[in-house]
A = this chain, B = another copy of it.
């Protein structure tokens, strides 16, 4: 941990609620012990001796959180997206993930993923690895070294997948998971495990029961997929005839939220009334992945409704069904599909605003990590410094306008400095 204190100078934007955007132009952000002490229009007397990082003229926002990303799919993003989910998994994803039994292959691929994420605007992520323990530990080692803060899951699968990827039996998957947890115990400062049943079609009831037990023993958080595609949902109903809805199948095994089981469910495109009510009741996070949901022709999630009902939510890149790791891209996609949903599906629920998607990508998803995603005092200090001067027209722009443009236009190379828990990443 950083024990020192310092100040960053620049133009700050951050979110407290979906409606409320805070802006301080030419302000001073004070960092103490890895946390924000606040953003000040004038630097208070008591901080005048601190060293200053001078980024005047730059736009500074909280680090972004990717609530759903598949590290081993980074190699083939942008490929084979003429298929729907289940065909895409069988044709591209499962064969590619099978390579990660080979550690040399995994190392080259994971290095590229981690390097690219390190340079973009994300500072936190909830990451799917593969079923392979060695490669998952390798990925966690690389992420730890990168300075990013992540939760990483060794994936569990014991049915409906090739032998090269599946774990053979519920018992083996249970054992691999416990081995993995043992191997990483005490190994990291910034990298923590998250239980990761791939999704119901990949996990037998036996395996889900075992994972439920591990969750109770360890208190680990959980991540999985939910209600992404109509074909998938019908299949889950066949596989778990006891379930009232897709999410109920997770819940039957104690893997669907509640105070002692923080849970993220990616997609929720087709979640119905009962499922939404259960998610709200249990505090299950939605990882909204608009790019992915479009690319795999899944549909458009009812994000306005989730916001209205207060279901906790953040954004996910869902690489490789999503094409870009940057959560700025997820923000612009979220805006875009919400407009099409308003126009073509449900004119009673209005489209999202730039403020709202910025909230989701920063403090919305960040809150899964604690006090993260804001510059309010006491929040862990993740900050991204953007050089947006090449976009500025002669007539100038307000801070709010500059933020909106970064959502639509920014590329990773615009990130010129990045701090995670007050520590510089490059």
A57 and B407 CA atoms in complex are apart in Å by: 33
- In the bound complex, residues from chain B placing their C-beta under 8 Å from that of A337 are 294, 340
- In the bound complex, residues from chain B placing their C-beta under 8 Å from that of A79 are 397, 401, 404-405, 408
- What distance in Å separates the Cβ of A80 from its nearest Cβ neighbour in chain B? 8
- What distance in Å separates the Cβ of A298 from its nearest Cβ neighbour in chain B? 7
- Known contacts A105-B394, A353-B82, A393-B109, A343 near B408 by CB under 8 Å: no
Interface membership of chain A positions 285-309, coded 1 if the CB is closer than 8 angstroms to chain B and 0 otherwise: 0000000001111111000000000
**In the assembled complex, A164 has its CB within 8 A of some CB on chain B:** no
Report which of B78, B343, B344, B411 forms a contact with A404, defined as CB distance below 8 A.
Answer: B78
A335 and B294 CA atoms in complex are apart in Å by: 9
A337's closest neighbor in chain B, by CB?
A: B340
Asked if residues B401 and A99 are in contact (CB atoms below 8 Å), the reply is no
**In the assembled complex, A81 has its CB within 8 A of some CB on chain B:** yes
Taking CB atoms and an 8 Å cut-off, the chain A residues in 343-358 that contact chain B are 343-345, 351, 353-354
**In the assembled complex, A395 has its CB within 8 A of some CB on chain B:** yes
Interface membership of chain A positions 98-129, coded 1 if the CB is closer than 8 angstroms to chain B and 0 otherwise: 01000001001100000000000000000000
Chain A contact residue count (CB 8 A cutoff): 47
Asked if residues B323 and A408 are in contact (CB atoms below 8 Å), the reply is yes
- In the bound complex, residues from chain B placing their C-beta under 8 Å from that of A75 are 393-395
Asked if residues B81 and A408 are in contact (CB atoms below 8 Å), the reply is yes
Asked if residues B295 and A77 are in contact (CB atoms below 8 Å), the reply is no
**In the assembled complex, A423 has its CB within 8 A of some CB on chain B:** no
A interface residues, Cβ below 8 angstroms from B? 75-82, 96, 99, 105, 108-109, 294-300, 323-324, 332, 335-337, 339-340, 342-345, 351, 353-354, 391, 393-395, 397, 401, 404-405, 407-409, 411
A-B residue pairs in contact (CB < 8 Å), sample of 18: A75-B393, A75-B395, A77-B405, A78-B405, A78-B409, A79-B397, A79-B401, A79-B408, A80-B404, A82-B351, A82-B353, A99-B395, A109-B393, A294-B337, A297-B339, A297-B351, A337-B340, A344-B345
